[in-house]
Amino acid sequence: MKKVKGIVACLLVLSLASSLMACNQKTGDVNVRSKGKKTEETEETEKTKETTEATTTETSETTAEPTPPEPTSTPNLGFNAPEEGCKIEFPTRDVYHYNMTLKLDPTDNTVSGNIVFDFYNDSEDTWEKLCMRDYSSLFEDESMYGKDIKGALTVIENIDDSRTGELSYERDSSDVSVIWIDLDEALEPGEWMTLSYDFTAAVPEIDDRYGVWNGIYNITNFYPILAEYVDGDWSHLAFYDEGECFYSEISKYDVTIQVPEDYIVVTSGEEVSSESVADGIVYEYEADYVRDFVFCASNVFEIESRECEGINVNVLYNKENPPTSDMSKSVEKTFYTCDNSFKAFNEAFGTYPYGELDVVLAPIAAGGMEYPNLIIINDAYCSGFYTQNDYEVLETCVAHEIGHQWFMGIVGSNSGGEPWLDESVTSYTELVYCEYVGGSIADNNLPISSKDLLDLSDPEQAAQYSVCFPLDRPHDEFEGYAYVYGVYQVGKDMLYQMDECLGTDEFHAVLREYVHRYAFTNATTHDFLEVLYEYAGYDNETLNNLVANCLQTEI
Ligand SMILES: [Zn+2]
């Protein structure tokens, strides 16, 4: 595991990708693209109709036999997609439940607590053992940071199966973040059990998505969480810092967090109550139908709150050590982006079903990082070089991380096993955002048409990106920079060209159906393609070539 600081996730990638693409990009009115394309399609369809009619008439005169219609590339509307701006309903089934009693202790930089976890065997196999992920232990390895960041193995104690009593655990010999728990009594398919455990995790002193830096605690992927059981085995892909390997089930969380009294806390959930205690304050949160729970806490946070499209949005930054002396423009741009992201994405993918979103501007290694209902944005984008061009880098990064609320949060996937489904689809949401907002950010980010990009439906042009293909493979099967460039840029181009060949409204309908069908579950590339082909049919040659050239999943 090697840390590649600076080319992690979202926006830094975007900046580099943009420069790499610069020779191919033009700017212009994006609306022309959509309207122009539709006009061409309409004309083409009409021509096809005329030809078909002419052929039919001619044939009728000579044989009197009906002629089958010529195949066209018109979408066959294999389903009625949900309407634009449709409501995304929470599931009615019983879901996993975590009851967490947590304490953040800044005196020794630990987060600890007790977890009572109710869950069931959601597979068709009997579970003799459980696999948990304990990502916080990975920071005990300081070799990748080159300095003492004060990480440590997480202490896990008092593991108890409500059915049989105390259990023990073992760390995987090849990966300290993989915890194996042998069950004394197997868990049958559909059977529920309650597992309780205590844990104490060290918070490393590092400016990253998990860690404390300049008084801000980013507490993410910090507690032992059940891994996914898929296709007869527990999924436990290696963690990698330049991407993700997080993969979990939609759950309900009831959480209390004790912090010092002067701390501001934001979380994946919504605050229910607060109570002063002898050595601090205890906040209570509910987070329903999320696939992880994270929080950020600090006594140096400035917090500003506004309503954007009916969602309570909190924007936070370090008031004692801000990246620039005047944060007002960045904060204003962040709220503006939240408002427009909700407008654009609600319409395109279905309405954000939660009540809150927290945007934490903090120094992290990536451009940004997404968690359920909470995103962390690199506060470097608030100052210096990145403030040029009206903070558009900040804007695109915030839009990208909000896009993840649909493609990671609502529809989950195996982010390490099929990273394109997570990052390419979310990178495409940047284009949805830019197209919605229009103006200079659209001019600077949207190609006018696929003519400005390599045509990925053309095998010879696609071959220029051959190192990135197939896109639908695990992170560790990409070599070098091919992962970052492939899943963030080439995958975005592929989806953009799917959008072009189906039409933007039609492609959004496909994505709405995908969200509707797989909301609050984990989807796969096969699931995505199934929806796509159900809608588009199998006779769209451009689409078929795009899929064949870029992906390996067959349908
Ligand atoms: Zn992303």
Burial of 476 (0-12, 13-18, 19+ CB in 10 A): middle
pLDDT of the residue at 336: 98
Give the distance (Å) from ligand 1 centre to CA of residue 377: 11
- Confidence tier at 76 by pLDDT (50, 70, 90): low
Give the distance (Å) from ligand 1 centre to CA of residue 387: 21
- Rounded CA-CA distance 494/425 in Å is 10
- Rounded CA-CA distance 184/67 in Å is 69
pLDDT of the residue at 80: 86
Q: Token pair 């492609």 is at which residue?
A: 507
**Does the pLDDT of residue 37 top 60, yes or no?**
no
**Ordered structural domains, the chain, with CATH:** 10-28+411-550 (1.10.390.10)
Q: Which residues pair with 362 in a beta bridge?
A: 378
Give the distance (Å) from ligand 1 centre to CA of residue 314: 20
**Does the pLDDT of residue 555 top 50, yes or no?**
yes
pLDDT of the residue at 408: 97
- Number of Cβ within a 10 Å radius of residue 185: 12
**Does the pLDDT of residue 43 top 80, yes or no?**
no
Residue of 513, 367, 345 lying closest to 432 (CA atoms): 345
Average pLDDT of the residues in 260-289: 98
Report residue 308: phi and psi, to 5°.
-125, 115
Residue of 417, 403, 445 lying closest to 526 (CA atoms): 417
Cα distances (Å, whole numbers) of residue 163 to 192, 227, 359: 10, 21, 41
pLDDT of the residue at 385: 83
Model pLDDT for residues 412-455, shown as the tens digit of each residue: 999 999 999 999 999 999 999 999 999 999 999 988 666 778 99
- Rounded CA-CA distance 245/418 in Å is 9
For the chain, helix, strand, coil in percent to 5 are: 35, 25, 35
**Does the pLDDT of residue 46 top 90, yes or no?**
no
Q: Going by DSSP bridges, is the β-strand pair 251-259/96-105 parallel, antiparallel, or unpaired?
A: parallel
- Rounded CA-CA distance 551/144 in Å is 33
Give the distance (Å) from ligand 1 centre to CA of residue 180: 30
Model pLDDT for residues 296-320, shown as the tens digit of each residue: 999 999 999 999 999 999 999 999 9
Give the distance (Å) from ligand 1 centre to CA of residue 182: 35
- Contacts of residue 83, Cβ cutoff 8 Å, sequence gap at least 6: none
Residues in the chain, total: 555
Give the distance (Å) from ligand 1 centre to CA of residue 403: 8
Q: Which residues pair with 359 in a beta bridge?
A: 315, 375
Give the distance (Å) from ligand 1 centre to CA of residue 257: 28
Residue of 555, 365, 378 lying closest to 472 (CA atoms): 555
- Rounded CA-CA distance 186/126 in Å is 7
Give the distance (Å) from ligand 1 centre to CA of residue 419: 10
Written as six digits, the tokens of 78 are 């294999």
Give the distance (Å) from ligand 1 centre to CA of residue 183: 36
Cβ atoms 228, 414 nearer than 8 A: yes
Query: 31-35, 143-147, 460-464: which has the highest mean pLDDT?
Result: 460-464
User: Three-class SS of residue 20?
Assistant: helix
Give the distance (Å) from ligand 1 centre to CA of residue 66: 53
- Rounded CA-CA distance 525/543 in Å is 15
Model pLDDT for residues 396-405, shown as the tens digit of each residue: 999 999 999 9
The percent of residues in the chain predicted with pLDDT above 90, rounded, is 80
**Does the pLDDT of residue 39 top 50, yes or no?**
no
- Alpha helices, DSSP H only, in 267-387? 328-349
Give the distance (Å) from ligand 1 centre to CA of residue 488: 8
Give the distance (Å) from ligand 1 centre to CA of residue 10: 5
Average pLDDT of the residues in 135-139: 96
Cβ atoms 353, 268 nearer than 8 A: no
Give the distance (Å) from ligand 1 centre to CA of residue 26: 24
Q: DSSP assignment, residue 384?
A: G
- Rounded CA-CA distance 355/312 in Å is 6
Give the distance (Å) from ligand 1 centre to CA of residue 137: 24
Instruction: Note the Cα 373 to chain centre separation in Å.
Output: 11
Give the mean pLDDT of the chain. 88
Give the distance (Å) from ligand 1 centre to CA of residue 404: 7
Model pLDDT for residues 316-366, shown as the tens digit of each residue: 999 999 999 999 999 999 999 999 999 999 999 999 999 999 999 999 999
- Confidence tier at 465 by pLDDT (50, 70, 90): very high
Amino acid letter for position 226: L
Give the distance (Å) from ligand 1 centre to CA of residue 369: 7
Model pLDDT for residues 514-544, shown as the tens digit of each residue: 999 999 999 999 999 999 999 999 999 999 9
Give the distance (Å) from ligand 1 centre to CA of residue 375: 10
Give the distance (Å) from ligand 1 centre to CA of residue 408: 9
For residue 218, the surrounding DSSP H or E stretch is strand 216-219
Amino acid letter for position 235: S
pLDDT of the residue at 333: 98
Give the distance (Å) from ligand 1 centre to CA of residue 492: 11
pLDDT of the residue at 50: 36
Give the distance (Å) from ligand 1 centre to CA of residue 13: 10
Give the distance (Å) from ligand 1 centre to CA of residue 62: 60
pLDDT of the residue at 387: 87
- Confidence tier at 30 by pLDDT (50, 70, 90): very low
Give the distance (Å) from ligand 1 centre to CA of residue 243: 9
Give the distance (Å) from ligand 1 centre to CA of residue 400: 6
Q: Going by DSSP bridges, is the β-strand pair 229-230/233-234 parallel, antiparallel, or unpaired?
A: antiparallel
CA 328, 431, 553: angle at the middle one, nearest 5? 135
Give the distance (Å) from ligand 1 centre to CA of residue 9: 6
Give the distance (Å) from ligand 1 centre to CA of residue 458: 27
Give the distance (Å) from ligand 1 centre to CA of residue 344: 17
Give the distance (Å) from ligand 1 centre to CA of residue 409: 12
User: Three-class SS of residue 542?
Assistant: helix
Q: What is the 3-state secondary structure (H, E, C) of 423-455?
A: HHHHHHHHHHHHHHHCHHHHHHHCCCCHHHCCC
pLDDT of the residue at 384: 84
**Does the pLDDT of residue 5 top 50, yes or no?**
no
Q: Which residues pair with 265 in a beta bridge?
A: 297
